[in-house]
Structure 1
Amino acid sequence: MHRKLARLAVILVVFSMVLGMAGSVVRAQDKIKVGLSFSDFATERWKNEEILMRKLLEDKGYEVLSQEANHDVKLQNDQIDNMVSQGVAALIIVAEDGDAVSTAVNSAADAGVLVLAYDRLIKSPNIAAYLSFNNVEVGRQQALGVLTALDIDGGEWTADNPVKLVKLGGSPTDNNAILFRKGQDEVLQPYVDSGVIEVVADQWVDNWDAVNALKIMENILTAQGNEIDAVVASNDGTALGALQALKAQELAGVVPISGQDATADGCNSIVKGELTVSILKDIRNLSPLAVDLIDQLLKGEDIPDLQEYTMAELTNDDTQEGSVMAYFLPVVQVNADNVYDLVVASGFQSYDDVYRDIPEDERPPRPALPTAEATEAAS
């Protein structure tokens, strides 16, 4: 009798273990999949944001699939199609080409997949939402930073002695580049109309590539006999490429030039007196918002912060039809006067990266670490 009871007990234990294992398999299979699609990882920020979004999504219980397209439009479309075939319920996409990717996005939407356009607009009304920064304001602040450095209203610059200005746009396939230009022109055009600014060159930089920007600026300097007074460049990468050409002609730090993203290299250039202004878009806020937004969309929750915008106003193109729901974060200008407080003390970039190659006696005090970080550093 005792043996039968013991045998029964063993059977029950094994049975309960099997049920538990089966339950674990079911729970694993029940995990909702979210896909991450990035245009490239060559741009400094994208890999950092991929790592952060992956962690935040996994912390919420999602299974994450992630792909990087290496600036290949067709590859990105294929990767998106593949993730849809693997059963993703949602996609967060950094588009290489906001037009071309709409093909895969429309197919994904037809399959019931929710698509969030992350920091680059996808030109399809079928996206669930668009999350970015105020990109027109980015352009305004770039132009204002350069004009302030020129003292544009100080009396030196007139129709008889106009500013010879270069515009370096971003990648022509990135809708953000169009919006940056819109903001830049809102500030610059009145001076162009009055003759105080003469635009001597206007170029777009494929893939936001610094090497392309270097070559373009070298050609412009040659064509203009080095007679350049200012450059409005649309991000730090293109600005730093252009600065190499300016430096070769001993014009770095003489010719005001703008950037964007407050990258470590960009901020280092600011403290060296070369790059005039960058624009801080605090991506530490963007990735968590994207994850929360996808989570809310998948749960069917109301999201009052989203507002409706027409595709025409988002693209600065009246031929575009439809509308999308969007949310935009604020931006702020970074220059030599505030780079320490806005970028270093806030922890956006490290002290050592920003003040690289700056003599110790010319650096500001190292900011105090938060208590937890200080304890870890001391151990």
Structure 2
Amino acid sequence: MSENTYAAKELGGATRRQVLGGAAAALLAAMVGFKAVYAQDKTLKVGLIMPNYDQLRWRNADQAFFEKEAALLGIEVLAQSSEANEALQASQVENMLTQGIDILVLTPVNANAAAGLVRKATAAGVPVINYNFLIDQADVVCFLGRDAVEMGEKIAQAAVEAHPTGNYIIAAGEESTSVARETRQGYINVLQPFLDKGDIKLVSDQFNKNWSTDTARAQVENALTKNNNDVAVVLCGNDGTAYGAIQALQAQGLGGKVWVNGIDAEPRAQELITEGLMALSNFTAFDQMGVEAAKAAVAVGSGQPIASNAVVNNGAKDIPWIKILNFNVSKDNLEQSAKDYPWWFAAKS
């Protein structure tokens, strides 16, 4: 498995994102606007806040690999989950600041409202590394995440190759997150020419709060009813929304007959791919993401350049973007993916 996700590319609708040109996008030496926040003889204390533990990735992948790399680098980690609760996350940030953290690595529950948390941290002299969901209008030092527009385009391209005509549903994720909005934008980028020609009709298109399996199931149920079960493709925001879509399809005897994708390639999604109920699930190298976040924390803490491969504008400024690998996983490459990422995949041959 090899894929150069860092190639310079102009993405339709992705005006806020820019990948660096050059040979496979040479590393950007992006000096952050903070002096060294800790002495060389002092252990760096980093607060790590995950949005929830409901999705397997947060505890089993992102946090696990961050903590593993942090141990190698001699970083002290205070890790918490916000249980998808904005008020709890705000309280956790305040609590970590009182505990004297040097750096905050924040995955926002609500990226649209998290700029206030960033202001609170920076006012206390604590720089913030923005993880996974881009925080609008925030003075963060860098962003780590996949290119969600590109990811959506990869998924939608596979869908239209399989079904260039027919009724489509988009069961997107949590609207307050950049990943959900930009994944949907990637879908639309690919679908638009087909929509314009009338080859594809978008019969249902909505975001699902908190990435809810239940609301995604209800959305697909309603769309099936209104269209007499005439649906070719359901483009989903993540594996959780895909589970709901598949439940709705199975109830109508359409399991495996309608093209459905997931995102994150959770173990259950891998089983559904093997069973033929899910066409593919896009996987992000969460191990790389956790490791790079720990390295970025050390760089920020010591006043060194952050090694990034792109730039993203969050509405306030251009910031270094550590862009993470993503690729589609289907029956064709599930076994190879298990070999490449054995800590996550449990492929069945």
TM-score (norm 2): 0.84
Summarize deviations over 1:300-336 as a string: whole Å, max 9, x none. 112342543222xxxxxxxx34332212123211112
Give the aligned CA root-mean-square deviation in angstroms. 1.8
Instruction: Identify the structure with the greater helix proportion.
Output: 1
Larger Rg: 1
Distance in 2, Cα, partners of 1:108 & 1:80: 8
Q: Secondary structure at the match of 1:232?
A: strand
Check whether the contact 2:136–2:316 (CA below 8 A) recurs between aligned residues: no
Number of the residue aligned with 2:321: 326
Structure 1 runs of 4+ with >6 Å offset: none
Asked which structure has the greater RCO (Cα within 8 Å, sep 6+), the reply is: 2
Amino acid at match of 1:85: T
Match among 326, 342, 347 for residue 342 of structure 2? 347
Check whether the contact 1:282–1:348 (CA below 8 A) recurs between aligned residues: no
Instruction: Identify the structure with the greater strand proportion.
Output: 2
Indicate whether 1:107 and 2:120 are aligned.
yes
Number of the residue aligned with 1:256: 259
Number of the residue aligned with 1:198: 201
Q: Name the stretch that deviates more: 106-115 or 186-195.
A: 106-115
Q: What is the CA distance between 1:125 and its match in structure 2?
A: 3.4
Check whether the contact 1:38–1:93 (CA below 8 A) recurs between aligned residues: yes
Number of the residue aligned with 1:236: 239
Match among 283, 288, 293 for residue 286 of structure 2? 283
Indicate whether 1:37 and 2:32 are aligned.
no
Percent identical pairs in the alignment equals: 28
Q: 1:345 to 1:83 in 2, by over 3 A?
A: closer
Distance in 2, Cα, partners of 1:178 & 1:34: 29
Give unpaired runs (5+ residues) of structure 1: 1-26, 158-162, 312-319, 356-363, 365-379
Distance in 2, Cα, partners of 1:340 & 1:110: 48
Q: 1:256 to 1:54 in 2, by over 3 A?
A: same
Check whether the contact 2:44–2:301 (CA below 8 A) recurs between aligned residues: no
Q: Secondary structure at the match of 2:65?
A: helix
Distance in 1, Cα, partners of 2:297 & 2:187: 32
TM-score (norm 1): 0.77
Summarize deviations over 1:247-272 as a string: whole Å, max 9, x none. 11111111111111111111111110
Q: What is the CA distance between 1:345 and its match in structure 2?
A: 5.5
Number of the residue aligned with 1:274: 277
Indicate whether 1:213 and 2:216 are aligned.
yes
Distance in 2, Cα, partners of 1:147 & 1:294: 41
Q: What is the CA distance between 1:222 and its match in structure 2?
A: 2.0
Amino acid at match of 1:303: I
Distance in 1, Cα, partners of 2:213 & 2:290: 25
